[in-house]
Chain A
Amino acid sequence: MLDVAGLRKVYEGQGHRVEAIADLTFRVGTGEFACLVGPSGCGKTTLLRCLAGLLAPTAGMVRVDGVPVAGPPPELAVVFQEYGRSLFPWLRVRENVELPLRAKGLPKARRQSIVDDALAAVGLADAGRAYPWQLSGGMQQRVAIARAVGYHPRVLLMDEPFAAVDAQTRADLEDLIRDVWRRLSVTLLFVTHDIDEAVYLGQRVIVLSAAPSTVDADLAVDLPDERDQLSTRADPRFTDLRTQVWSRIKRTTALEASP
């Protein structure tokens, strides 16, 4: 579904160039939940912007459903890290979720029922009349998720969506996103710098090296499909996987530090 081949991105500034992504190749199958982790500053956000068609790569190609990406592809949604800045502060929660549906040209009644369902799915059925900035950070991110859910994408990209919320809210949102993924049967690529989160959420963890980044490891997460914040995280297999990812990342940063 999501096909990345030989992707490379170099930022050319005046007199200096920064190579953010050296050479990336991976693919995410239809309906798969893949997590992407890497040391901080490894070009995760650059990669995500290339995948979303917001940034043109220097070389290589991204394909969504076989179609080369040149601009934001249809049926692809993104949940950004900065929830406070990706929601329209002058629109109420309902209107925020509804706006992409207006752009799709859906009739009003249809839009209303989709918005109702999407808000209910993230547990915000009663907050539709509020403005986003009247809500807590976690609730704002739920609105952003509801907007993506209502859009009914086939591919959903999430860029460190829970990096700025507190631990308890984060756990709730993680379970919410597993739930959404199963219900929508969407292809999900989840970018994070949190190793535990990656292992807990994904069916697969793709580990990136430090910038200029390449794929360092690609691990299958063979945990049971039903996950639970307490028992899954206590599972020896979970600990084992997270140690593997951890040592991988440690190694790439150590290589970086001693050239």
Chain B
Amino acid sequence: MIVRRTVALLGLPAVLVAAWWVASAGSTDFYRPPLARILAAFRDTWFGRRLLDDVAPSLARLAVGYTVALCAGIALGVAIGASPRLRALTEPVLEFLRAIPPPVLVPVVILVAGIGDLMKVLVIVSGCLWPVLLNTVEGVRAIDPTLADTARVYHIGGTLRLRRLVLRAASPQIVTGARQALSIGIILMVISEMFAASSGLGFTVVQFQRSFAIPEMWSGVLLLGLLGVLLSLGFRAVEARVLGWYHGLRAVARGSR
């Protein structure tokens, strides 16, 4: 059983990597270097000063921008979701702001904030905010009326109500919004650096491409992909903690239908 599951888990990835390795082994194509050379370039390029100079600042900006967007989105979303009138008032405006493809905000924000760290963080905030905000509004709006009545009868109000009822009830939608925001945040982190920057992950990778440092460029693509995968794994670990009750509840509901 364990053997079978391991094969299912690692079989196809191993085959794919091996196929890439073998197919590219003797490659003399300038654009498609052997995987061995890409991996060597990966080690030489990213395990050193670049990790501190380019990778860490990019991730720090992502972390700051994402956190600000998360806090602001949840706070505004709770306020708007709790009031039907405010919701009706803001809905068309929010629908429009959400529909703007976030990357077009890069030139707009550059205009206002130059090309420094502030610009990149602002770009990430302005892109990540909407999915969090709109999903929070939806989650708060859909709080079960019986639970809301229960809270009223037992005089559960103020921050206790916020923490134990509103935020928890809306948490499945908030997590959905946060997941969408994370993938938008990664896109914006990379392209804000590709578009206008002198350092950072996106900048460095594009720089490799422009100077035809092909194995290094491939290694950069690999690193970006790896970061995406690691961030998504981290997100899932957090989700499993926050939404453990929700997945359990859903499993019970599915089992009994």
A–B proximity contact (CB within 8 A) = yes
Q: How far apart sit A71 and B248, CA to CA, in the bound complex (Å)?
A: 35
Whether B152 lies near A103 (C-beta < 8 A) is no
Partner-contacting stretch, out of A87-95, A207-215, A221-229: A87-95
Whether B150 lies near A86 (C-beta < 8 A) is yes
Whether A88 lies near B165 (C-beta < 8 A) is yes
- A77 on the B face (CB < 8 A): yes
Partner of A77, one of B154, B171, B245: B154
A-contact 0/1 string along B139-159, CB 8 Å cutoff: 000001011011011111100
- A74 on the B face (CB < 8 A): yes
Whether A100 lies near B146 (C-beta < 8 A) is no
Whether B156 lies near A103 (C-beta < 8 A) is yes
- A158 on the B face (CB < 8 A): no
Whether B165 lies near A80 (C-beta < 8 A) is no
Partner of A54, one of B144, B153, B155, B253: B153
Q: Which residues of A contact B155 (CB under 8 A)?
A: 72, 74, 100, 103-104
- B160 on the A face (CB < 8 A): yes
- B43 on the A face (CB < 8 A): no
Q: Which residues of A contact B144 (CB under 8 A)?
A: 85
Q: How far apart sit A91 and B154, CA to CA, in the bound complex (Å)?
A: 16
Whether A134 lies near B153 (C-beta < 8 A) is no
Q: How far apart sit A44 and B123, CA to CA, in the bound complex (Å)?
A: 55
Partner of B146, one of A52, A86, A103: A86
Main secondary structure on B side of the interface with A: helix
- A133 on the B face (CB < 8 A): yes
Whether B146 lies near A134 (C-beta < 8 A) is no
- A102 on the B face (CB < 8 A): yes
Partner of B245, one of A72, A74, A90: A90
Q: How far apart sit A92 and B217, CA to CA, in the bound complex (Å)?
A: 51
Given contacts A90-B245, A133-B248, contact A99 B156 (CB under 8 A): yes
Whether A90 lies near B246 (C-beta < 8 A) is yes
Whether A72 lies near B164 (C-beta < 8 A) is no
Whether A78 lies near B153 (C-beta < 8 A) is yes
Number of interface residues of B (CB under 8 A): 23
Q: Which residues of B contact A72 (CB under 8 A)?
A: 152-153, 155
Q: How far apart sit A82 and B147, CA to CA, in the bound complex (Å)?
A: 10
Partner of B171, one of A52, A86, A90, A147: A90
Q: Which residues of A contact B160 (CB under 8 A)?
A: 99, 102-103
- B249 on the A face (CB < 8 A): yes
Q: Which of B15-71 contact A (CB under 8 A)?
A: none
Whether B146 lies near A82 (C-beta < 8 A) is yes
- A151 on the B face (CB < 8 A): yes
- A131 on the B face (CB < 8 A): yes
Q: How far apart sit A244 and B205, CA to CA, in the bound complex (Å)?
A: 86
Given contacts A88-B165, A89-B245, A90-B171, contact A100 B156 (CB under 8 A): yes
- A76 on the B face (CB < 8 A): yes
| Min CB gap A226→B, angstroms | 31
Q: How far apart sit A88 and B169, CA to CA, in the bound complex (Å)?
A: 9
- B87 on the A face (CB < 8 A): no
- B252 on the A face (CB < 8 A): yes
Q: How far apart sit A72 and B152, CA to CA, in the bound complex (Å)?
A: 7
Q: How far apart sit A133 and B165, CA to CA, in the bound complex (Å)?
A: 17
Whether B252 lies near A85 (C-beta < 8 A) is no
- B98 on the A face (CB < 8 A): no
In this complex, which of B154, B155, B160, B252 has the most chain A Cβ atoms within 10 angstroms of its Cβ?
B154
Q: Which residues of B contact A82 (CB under 8 A)?
A: 146
Q: Which residues of B contact A80 (CB under 8 A)?
A: 146, 149-150
Q: Which residues of A contact B152 (CB under 8 A)?
A: 53-54, 71-72
- B179 on the A face (CB < 8 A): no
28 contacts between A and B (CB under 8 A): A54-B152, A72-B152, A72-B153, A78-B153, A80-B146, A80-B150, A85-B146, A86-B149, A86-B150, A88-B147, A88-B168, A89-B245, A89-B246, A90-B169, A99-B156, A99-B160, A100-B154, A100-B156, A103-B157, A104-B155, A131-B245, A131-B248, A131-B249, A133-B248, A133-B249, A134-B252, A147-B154, A151-B154
Which 3 pairs show the lowest CB-CB distances between chains A and B? Answer: A100-B154, A85-B146, A90-B245
Q: A52-B153, A90-B245, A131-B248 are in contact. List 6 more A-B contacts (CB 8 A).
A: A74-B155, A77-B153, A80-B146, A86-B150, A91-B164, A103-B154
